[in-house]
């Protein structure tokens, strides 16, 4: 009889005194303390949780007989939730994904209000994606609504949803590095400092940025009592709904703008290989998925999603994409929505991927630690790191092979026009950059199971297997 898997508490769930998340094998559980028995008992007994789960807004969750592994006497009950295949973070989401998550969060809160509930926080980390579809994962955020309740998550919503969207929609500045550096979002005082008078003419900006910044300043100065009194005023339920609905309408109109031209958004149209070569690569991706039966695929350098779509068509259950250019990732996400693809493109620079960070560098896991993929595809990608970012070829090969047990990597030779343009204004210091050396390095860490040239300039696909 095999031993039961060891339970491990999630390092990012310590903030909620009402319960902890723990994993046992591939299963996800959440403890609920006695202190929440009344409120969360109402959430269950009223049918609110079942209604939101049936609507596809909340991750399926049910009570279980599994015990709290810490044997904490304060634990009331334990619940099991369906596992989300891949955990992503808001600082990795393209603009369209963050906007969709914001609208989803507001819709969820409005739905809860209609059934007598409310949300006590507004963390963007409580929203996850299955493909491009958002879903809420923190069931302990729900409480019974009491007449006059304030929006306790107002500041959090603004800093983790509204302010990053405003940064890009108003100033054309991608929010990803700023958000990643701050983790808890973009502070209201920081976005308020950027606003000009014309921006403040918007009632939404005035209410949710300028006035909120003023209240926060009052709270941190010698006018705490006055600020606290203004924030304690009861909010009638119709006004609460109006606040959420008004913010929803405003965010729904926001569009991403860019301060300058994108390096990559036109790449799919302006690349140096023919339609026949593209079809050849798409066919190879389909054959790879069909042959290996890869259910979860990582598409490194996913561009607008052509090869992710090919992998899904061949039978992959889901694809996570990595794309360094925010505009291109945004186009890929919009495509995933329009075509209903189980494809989530993320804004991640492969040469500087999301690190482990937060409290004790454990609260938010690194990009590498979150992914367990059956297969990886890296097409027209490796030269951007090897030539464009000076990443040593041996290190790059080991990194790519380490992402999944099987994969397809496209090698682009120096003779290719793309690399010739990259080297036009710089010294060629890449003496070991050759197809022969690449194949030798790849053979040293995995079996090369297939090799096929896909362009007249010598672009070659290498299939590998290290399992």
- 């955990």: which residue's tokens? 87
pTM: 0.93
Residue span(s) of the chain under CATH 1.10.510 come to 90-253
What are the backbone dihedrals phi and psi of residue 448, each rounded to the nearest 5 degrees, phi first? Answer: -85, 110
Q: Could you tell me if 265 and 439 are in contact, meaning their C-beta atoms sit under 8 angstroms apart?
A: no
- DSSP codes of every residue in 375-386: EEEE-S-HHHHH
Cβ atoms of 117 and 48 closer than 8 Å: yes
Q: Which residues are bridge partners to 466 per DSSP?
A: none
**Across-strand partners of 318?**
296
CATH number for region 267-465: 3.40.50.150
102 and 31 Cβ atoms separated by less than 8 Å? no
Looking at residue 268, its pLDDT comes to: 46
The confidence score (pLDDT) of residue 103 equals: 98
Q: How far apart are CA 302 and CA 345, in angstroms?
A: 7
Would you state the structure tokens that stand for residue 36, as one six-digit string?
A: 């929440």
Q: Please state, in angstroms and rounded to a whole number, the distance separating the CA atoms of residues 389 and 426.
A: 12
CATH 3.40.50.150 domain locations along the chain: 267-465
Closest CA to 254 of 197, 202, 211, 187: 202
Q: Measured between alpha carbons, how far is 22 from 208 in angstroms, rounded to an integer?
A: 35
- How many Å apart are CA 415 and CA 83, to the nearest integer? 46
Residue 201 has a pLDDT of: 87
Q: What is the pLDDT along the chain (467 residues), one digit of tens a residue?
A: 456 788 898 888 888 888 999 999 999 999 999 999 999 999 999 999 999 999 999 999 999 999 998 889 999 999 999 999 999 999 999 999 999 999 999 999 999 999 999 999 999 999 999 999 999 999 999 999 999 999 999 999 999 999 999 999 999 999 999 999 998 999 999 999 999 989 888 898 998 998 888 888 877 665 555 545 555 567 899 999 999 999 999 999 999 987 665 554 444 444 556 788 899 999 999 999 999 999 999 999 999 999 999 999 999 999 999 999 999 999 999 999 999 999 999 999 999 999 999 999 999 999 989 989 999 999 999 999 999 999 999 999 999 999 999 999 999 999 999 999 999 988 999 999 999 999 999 999 999 999 999 999 999 999 999 98
Which residues fall within 8 angstroms of residue 211, CB to CB, at 6 or more apart? none
In Å, the largest CA–CA distance within the chain is 74
- Residue 262 has a pLDDT of 55
> Cβ neighbours of residue 48 under 8 Å, at least 6 residues apart?
42, 112, 115, 116, 117, 142
Q: What Å distances lie between residue 392 and 148, 381, 406, CA to CA?
A: 61, 14, 21
Cβ atoms of residues 178 and 166 within 8 Å: no
Do the beta carbons of residue 303 and residue 278 sit within 8 Å?
no
Q: What span, in angstroms and rounded, lies between the C-alpha atoms of 177 and 62?
A: 37
Task: Decide if 370 contacts 83 (C-beta within 8 A).
Answer: no
**DSSP 8-state code for residue 446:** S
| C-beta separation of 92 from 354 below 8 A | yes
Q: Determine the Cα–Cα distance for residues 203 and 65; give it in Å rounded to an integer.
A: 50
Residue 397 and residue 442 in contact, taking contact as beta carbons nearer than 8 Å: yes
CA distance 456 to 415: 10
Q: Show the beta-strand stretches assigned E in 93-210.
A: 117-119, 127-130, 133-136, 142-144
Q: Is the dihedral of CA 357, 359, 361, 366 positive or negative?
A: negative
Q: Which CATH code for domain 90-253?
A: 1.10.510
pLDDT at 286: 98
The pLDDT score that the predictor gives to residue 435 is 96
CB 90, CB 125: distance < 8 Å: yes
Cα torsion 247, 249, 251, 255 to 10°: value is: -160
Q: d(Cα 412, Cα 103) in Å, to the nearest integer?
A: 41
The helix (run of H) or strand (run of E) holding residue 76 is: strand 75-81
């Amino acid at each position: 009889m095999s031993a039961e898997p060891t339970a491990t508490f999630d390092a990012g769930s310590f903030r909620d005194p009402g319960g902890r998340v723990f994993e046992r094998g591939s299963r996800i559980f959440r403890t609920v303390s006695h202190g929440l028995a009344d409120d969360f008992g109402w959430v269950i007994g009223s049918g609110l949780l079942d209604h939101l789960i049936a609507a596809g807004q909340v991750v399926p969750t049910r009570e279980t007989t599994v015990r709290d592994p810490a044997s904490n006497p304060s634990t009331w009950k334990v619940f099991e939730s369906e596992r989300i295949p891949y955990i992503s973070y808001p600082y990795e989401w393209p603009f369209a994904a963050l906007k969709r998550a914001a609208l989803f969060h507001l819709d969820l809160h409005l739905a809860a209000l209609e059934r007598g509930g409310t949300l006590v926080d507004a963390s963007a980390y409580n929203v996850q994606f299955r493909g491009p579809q958002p879903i809420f994962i923190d069931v302990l955020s729900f409480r019974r609504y009491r007449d006059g309740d304030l929006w306790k998550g107002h500041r959090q919503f603004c800093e983790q949803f509204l302010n990053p969207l405003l940064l890009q929609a108003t100033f054309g500045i991608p929010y990803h590095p700023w958000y990643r550096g701050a983790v808890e979002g973009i502070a209201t005082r920081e976005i308020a400092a950027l606003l000009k008078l014309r921006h403040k003419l918007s009632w939404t900006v005035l209410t949710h940025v300028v006035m909120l910044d003023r209240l926060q300043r009052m709270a941190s100065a010698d006018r705490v009592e006055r600020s606290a009194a203004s924030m304690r005023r009861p909010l009638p339920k119709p006004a609460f709904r109006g606040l959420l609905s008004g913010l929803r309408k405003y965010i729904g109109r926001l569009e991403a703008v860019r301060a300058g031209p994108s390096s990559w958004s036109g790449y799919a149209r302006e690349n140096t290989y023919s339609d026949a070569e593209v079809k050849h690569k798409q066919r190879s991706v389909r054959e790879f998925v069909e042959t290996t039966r890869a259910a979860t695929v990582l598409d490194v350098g996913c561009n607008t999603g052509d090869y992710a779509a090919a992998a899904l068509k061949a039978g992959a259950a889901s694809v996570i994409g990595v794309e360094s250019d925010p505009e291109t990732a945004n186009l890929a996400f919009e495509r995933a929505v329009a075509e209903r693809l189980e494809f989530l493109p993320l804004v991640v620079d492969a040469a500087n991927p999301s690190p482990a960070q937060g409290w004790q560098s454990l609260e938010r896991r690194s990009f590498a630690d979150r992914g367990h993929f059956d297969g990886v595809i890296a097409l027209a990608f490796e030269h951007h790191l090897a030539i464009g970012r000076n990443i040593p070829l041996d290190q790059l090969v080991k990194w790519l092979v380490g992402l999944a047990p099987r994969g397809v990597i496209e090698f682009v030779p120096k003779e290719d026009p793309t690399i010739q343009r990259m080297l036009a204004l710089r010294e060629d210091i890449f003496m070991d950059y050759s197809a022969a050396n690449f194949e030798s390095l790849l053979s040293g860490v995995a079996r090369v199971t297939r090799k096929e040239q896909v362009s007249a300039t010598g672009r070659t696909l290498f299939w590998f297997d290290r399992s």
